[in-house]
Structure 1
Amino acid sequence: MMVAPAPDAAHADVSRTAVSIADVLAAQSRLDGTVVRTPVGQYPDIDRAAGTTPGTTVVVKHENQQRTGAFKARGATNLLLSMSDAERARGVVAYSTGNHAQGVAYAARLTGTACTIVMPDDPNPVKLRAVLDQGADVLLQGATFDDARAQATALAAASGARLVGAANEPAIIAGVGSLYLELFQQAPGLDVLVVPVGGGSGAAAAGLVASAVAPGTEVIGVQSAASPAAHDSWHAGTLLERANTTRAEGLAVGCGFEVTQALMRRHLADFVLVTDEQISTAQQLYLTGAHTVAEGAGAAALAAVLADPERFAGRRVGVVCTGGNASADELRRALGRADAPAPD
């Protein structure tokens, strides 16, 4: 099914919203001192779980240690720092299941910008509390990301505030690109990089940066099979909407977005799906094998590697733990996975 026209989805003018490696380099400079250069790590338990073939290694980029606990702080901060004083004076409105909300709220507090966040009803309490702690106003609206998007769009139109989407925003993609510049500096020689996809800013940025600085690295996107809109849009070559029922909030998006889809079509080698159960298994491995808290979206890239060991056999694989803002219920579910790989 085609997506109905939407202000920040199907009707983006890609010709006016292109992102280049020069934009990413400018964003990296602009963000200096406002975001963390997060570490990378390699863990024997994760390497063993990824496959028995000698030489298979997994390098983890720990964006769960980023300010706000997720990579979204990079893009939102770059966007707000790029705005004029007059634009910031009108305030911003964003919609999110949580991590984009925290990123925008953090950037708004940093720049003294009034900020309203629309989140779906019954949000992750960890993420809601963090948004409120940053001083943003929060409105709960609807059951899904897409319901929140519609309400935020209407609110911005009525108030004159700047609507800050999580996908069709070149400055956000450029800011996220700083993550991948760091990764390729910290872990050169990656054969493949696996990136989780919700709206697609991360995978769009990863593909863009890889093509410029690591053209030999294959970039693969991954999404939950319970919310496959971005995956299906990429494979179909057109924007689609799909059921949106994943537990992984950062992947819970029901439609494709034109700007990120255009970049992903240009730069991704493949786009795969994993189940929510496989994501929970990867979360458990992060906890037990890397002493790392990963929320569902943050574990999706590792889940894809664990689900297809033949594909990654003997390769140097990069994965990004994109966020660590997991609720207590989510962590209990992950630790209860009976079929999760256990350390030897």
Structure 2
Amino acid sequence: MNCLQSWPEPIVRVQSLAESGIRTIPERYIKPISDRPFTNDTPLLTNKHENIPLIDLQHLLSNDRTLRSQTLSSISKACREWGFFQVVNHGISPELMRSALEVWRDFFNLPLELKQEYANEPRTYEGYGSRLGVEKGAVLDWSDYFFLHYLPTSLRKESKWPALPPSLRELVAEFGAEVVKLGGRLLKILSTNLGLEEDYLLNAFGGDENVGACLRANIYPKCPQPDLTLGLSPHSDPGGMAILLPDTNVNGLQVRRNGNWLTVKPVPNAFIINLGDQIQVLSNGIYKSAEHRVIVNSAKDRVSLSFFYNPKGDLLIEPLKQLVTKERPAQYKPMTFNEYRLYIRTKGPNGKEQVESLKSYT
């Protein structure tokens, strides 16, 4: 972990850059031509009517067995073919969702000197940050964030959470408790759809007492040259599952679909669910983590909350034995989640390179 003790260069807050009135972005944020949005090499999906699957979780409580079966089937298909879907009627109140998003928007709008009190470092990433990865000279993303641990409770340090706005700590605790319940519920559905006992994946994560959960509040400031940079570079999430609360007023999330980039259209009061690399490994490639990125806007800031539901850090993650057969041998080499996420903390986001590197060809 010595390589993660400090940032290689002085940290510049992107929001401060955006608010300074610059008309051209610094060179360190300009992506190579092949990686820029809106170019012929990275076209948007041409079907304007396609969106990631939308699933009503209320149907799972229906007395209509056909409707319940169809909903389970829709989730299974989304996990196998997309790695992304949206859920509505998930049990979390719209008021809490709005309050959680707004309190973080208020935090990012605080004076810089107040936010700087929570400046992070790469060993844990906990706190107020502006870059991923510690490679010197890396091309940076156009975003700032605040990262905090929620579970296990041994890692939760609420004193490191922002004290302003005054309601933030209480809202984070309440919001986190509800999202953890949703994550556990979804994990049971994924497990059942794989033909396993409903608690199997949860136990593979370490069980209720050991599951990891963390929150990254993101701000993607308005950008004078959004065609030259990205809010977040292409990547698949290294953890188990991400539960995203998006800004429904400004689109920004894009998912790679059949070689093109699809701009996700968020549904009001919905969460966007995406599977991470650990689920892909545990399912032996039956479920897919999806490559995604974030584009930025020339006129508006965008705030989102990414809640990550992860395995216990020191557990060995490998394809589940029930999903390994002669016809489908184990496709991935074992690795702990702590070892796995060190890669992105060192190099930053880099497509699906990391999970592909785990593939076993023996």
Normalised by the size of structure 2, how large is the TM-score?
Answer: 0.29
Between structure 1 and structure 2, the one with the greater Rg is 2
Greater fraction of residues in strand = 2
Greater fraction of residues in helix = 1
